[in-house]
Amino acid sequence: MTLAAIRALNATDIVLIPRKGEEKSDLAEVRRAICAKHLSSATTRIVEFDLPVREGLPADYAATVDDWHDRIAHVWSQQIHTELGQEGRVALLVWGDPSLFDSSLRIAARLKPKPTIDVVPGITALQELCAAHAIPLNEIGAPFLVTTGRKLRERGWPGDADTVAVMLDGGTAFETLDPEGLTIWWGAYLGMQGQMLVSGNLRETSQQIVELRRKARAKHGWIMDTYILKRARTA
């Protein structure tokens, strides 16, 4: 939490906390813990609600997500209306920063009437990962690519990229790559208690990460991890 986020949190009337069911209950728990630690305003109330479940066929991904976002916007509206009526200030605690692989702003844009939205920038998992390993993200004057585990698995190493950051990997997509010349910087539960880090040659560290990941997931019931892969430049 940045100082600006703590100030914003304490200036709201309600904080909406989504409950995502048993499996991910730790994430609601993290949000509750953040409020317990940083919420000192006596006039701010915490409102918990059940997040609608995404329903639909994987083949219809766009339509499924569109429908899901509509239903979430509907639940937000209901909660806001019930708790505040026509006017008030609402906080949503977004994981990391809403600019990166997050749909909170797309969902908020569906609310009617359209609210005024103030985004307090957060710290992304990628920033946490780079800081934890004390590495810069890009090479000098070079671009980097941020992609998902699914895309890496489906399409392999992306084109002529030298640096690839991978998020939203439900598994270990790095195992599908030829490890020759690849270095990985991996991190799980970044910025949280129990943060885990591994770095090194992909060939040598791959199985260690797979095993650590499996055990951590079994222990916590969920895992969030992010990694950066860099390809050695050949002369």
Ligand X SMILES: C[S@@+](CC[C@H](N)C(=O)[O-])C[C@H]1O[C@@H](n2cnc3c(N)ncnc32)[C@H](O)[C@@H]1O
Residue with tokens 């609402």: 90
Residue 108 lies near ligand X (rule: CB under 6 A): no
Residue 102 lies near ligand X (rule: CB under 6 A): yes
**Phi/psi of residue 195, nearest 5 degrees:** -55, 135
User: In the numeric block, which tokens belong to residue 233?
Assistant: 């430049």
Near ligand X by CB under 6 A, which window of 10-18, 22-30, 64-72, 184-192? 184-192
Q: Binder to ligand X among 100, 120, 132, 197 (CB under 6 A)? A: 100
Nearest-approach distance from CB 31 to ligand X, in angstroms: 13
Nearest-approach distance from CB 129 to ligand X, in angstroms: 7
Closest-CA residue to 46 (of 34, 62, 58): 34
Nearer to ligand X, 8 or 100 (CB): 100
**CA–CA dist 80, 85 (Å, integer):** 7
Whole-number Cα distances in Å, 76 to 54, 116, 220, 221, 229: 16, 15, 28, 27, 38
Near ligand X by CB under 6 A, which window of 41-49, 51-59, 134-142, 189-197? 189-197
Nearer to ligand X, 44 or 163 (CB): 163
Residue 144 lies near ligand X (rule: CB under 6 A): no
**CA–CA dist 139, 89 (Å, integer):** 42
The residues, ordered by sequence, that sit 6+ positions from 34 with a Cβ below 8 Å of its Cβ are 1, 93
Nearer to ligand X, 141 or 194 (CB): 194
**Contacts with ligand X, residue ranges (CB under 6 A):** 95-97, 100-102, 124-125, 167-168, 187-192, 224-226
